[in-house]
Amino acid sequence: MACCRCFTILIALCFGLPASSVHADQRYVLTSTEQNVHRDSWKLSGGNWSVEKKTLHGGKQEGVDLITIDNGVLQIDVVPTRGMSVYEVRSGDMRLGWDSPVEDIVHPSLIDLESRGGLGWLEGFNEWMVRCGLEFAGHPGTDEFEDGAGGTTTRDLTLHGKIGNIPASEVEVIIDSAAPHRIRVRGIVYEKFFYGPKLKLITEISVVPGQDSFRIDDTVENLGAQEQEFQIIYHANFGAPLLGAGATVHAAVKSLTPMDAHAAESIDGYATYLPPTAGFVEQVYLVEPLTDEHNRTGAVLQNAAADRAASMHWSAEQLPYLTIWKNTAATEDGYVTGIEPATGYPYNRKVERAAGRVPKLSPGQKRQFTLDIGLHRGKDNVKAAVEQIQSLQGDHPVDVQREPPKS
């Protein structure tokens, strides 16, 4: 199938999809290296939902693919060109996302991860949710590890790895034939190099028409023939209007540790947010979460008025560590907080490995990561969301470490 520019499908299904489960799921390939397909623009519409693909133009975003899923309640922007990151989620007066000084959705061909002393990743950082990983995540710096030939070698790692700047090789839209006719955008991103990792990410961002929640369901597989370290951080970022002076973050906390001496100074106020503050220096807190009997945990970000909130829930077996990143800088510099479930903390991999927080995949092994994200409106709904987190905490005391870890 050739590359089709300006190819638009408009299926006017006025009353939604046929409910009969004998029908197969509808599948639409938008990008495929295997089939040599890349659609520049495309749209599929149901009665109260749509999925639209367009190509961005101008500046650093020339040629970037953007898929918007609209389920009638949420509009979810997925960026296949940037590793299937979720740029923004909008719902009426709510949004998951933030105002980064990086305004374009930057094409990876214009990103140099080695730039600025390994901080080049920040030149494209503006998503609501970007994955850090997969070979490595966390702070730049020199890692030291076995070279596979019996010796040790060093490598200068760049901030937060490569996966967020790798274009998806396969992208398809799937509409479940069975009720509730879940809408799925599925992508495959390969982080595979010769003499390097052979990791495959299959990600599915999905939503049910009419609901105010959605799911990110990822599988990471080691396609190589040798054991492979990996790291993944779900770097979910929230700005105004949800974030604001007096907004609060709620997590079920077994232990709370400041990432550095600067964060240690403000640890007592870790759960509340300042207004935009020029010159604010980031504060990072490391959380071991408490879980329910199914090993599930979550976090809620609540606005100051306690009438809007976003929640994230996940399995602590999948993602045992949570980082809370407070960056309540001036609006112009990026007023944002990160709620980041992960396989570890954002130290350099050298630190993480020494601490036992760098998992491995044996050849052919897969691991799954599922995040459920909800938007909550109205004081009662927000209160319920927060209380669910509080019920995980129960009367467990928080083990507050007042000093950063000795590295």
Three-state DSSP class for residue 339: strand
Assess contact for 369 and 310: CB atoms under 8 A: no
Total residues contacting a second copy by CB under 8 A comes to 78
Positions 166 through 185 that interact with a second copy (CB under 8 A)? 166-170
**Residue type at 10 in one-letter notation:** L
Q: Give the residue, chosen from 42, 125, 270, 345, that forms a contact with a second copy under the rule CB under 8 A.
A: 125
Positions 45 through 84 that interact with a second copy (CB under 8 A)? 54-63
Q: Give the residue, chosen from 306, 333, 370, 383, that forms a contact with a second copy under the rule CB under 8 A.
A: 333
Instruction: Output 223 or 264, the one with its CB closest to a second copy.
Output: 223
43 - beta bridge partners?
A: 52
Nearest to 232 by CA among 351, 142, 80, 352: 352
Instruction: Output 23 or 27, the one with its CB closest to a second copy.
Output: 27
Stretch of 89-97, 111-119, 208-216, 374-382 contacting a second copy, by CB under 8 A = 111-119
d(CA 242, CA 315): 24
How many residues are recorded in the chain? 407
Q: Which residue has the tokens 């296949």?
A: 80
Positions 300 through 329 that interact with a second copy (CB under 8 A)? 329
Assess contact for 99 and 334: CB atoms under 8 A: yes
Q: Give the residue, chosen from 12, 15, 20, 194, that forms a contact with a second copy under the rule CB under 8 A.
A: 194
Q: Give the residue, chosen from 26, 43, 119, 141, that forms a contact with a second copy under the rule CB under 8 A.
A: 119
Closest contact distance (angstroms) between CB of 140 and a second copy is 12
d(CA 121, CA 164): 9
Q: Is 377 in the site for a second copy (CB under 8 A)?
A: no
Positions 145 through 164 that interact with a second copy (CB under 8 A)? 148-150, 154-156
Closest contact distance (angstroms) between CB of 37 and a second copy is 6
Q: Is 334 in the site for a second copy (CB under 8 A)?
A: yes
Q: Is 266 in the site for a second copy (CB under 8 A)?
A: no
Backbone angles phi, psi at 85, to 5 degrees: -65, 160
Closest contact distance (angstroms) between CB of 380 and a second copy is 36
Q: Is 332 in the site for a second copy (CB under 8 A)?
A: yes
Q: Where are the beta strands (DSSP E) in 178-330?
A: 183-192, 198-207, 213-222, 228-229, 231-238, 248-251, 253-258, 283-289, 296-302, 308-315, 321-328
Closest contact distance (angstroms) between CB of 136 and a second copy is 11
Nearest to 355 by CA among 291, 297, 286, 285: 286
Closest contact distance (angstroms) between CB of 61 and a second copy is 6
Q: Is 225 in the site for a second copy (CB under 8 A)?
A: yes
d(CA 290, CA 375): 22
Q: Give the residue, chosen from 13, 28, 32, 91, that forms a contact with a second copy under the rule CB under 8 A.
A: 32
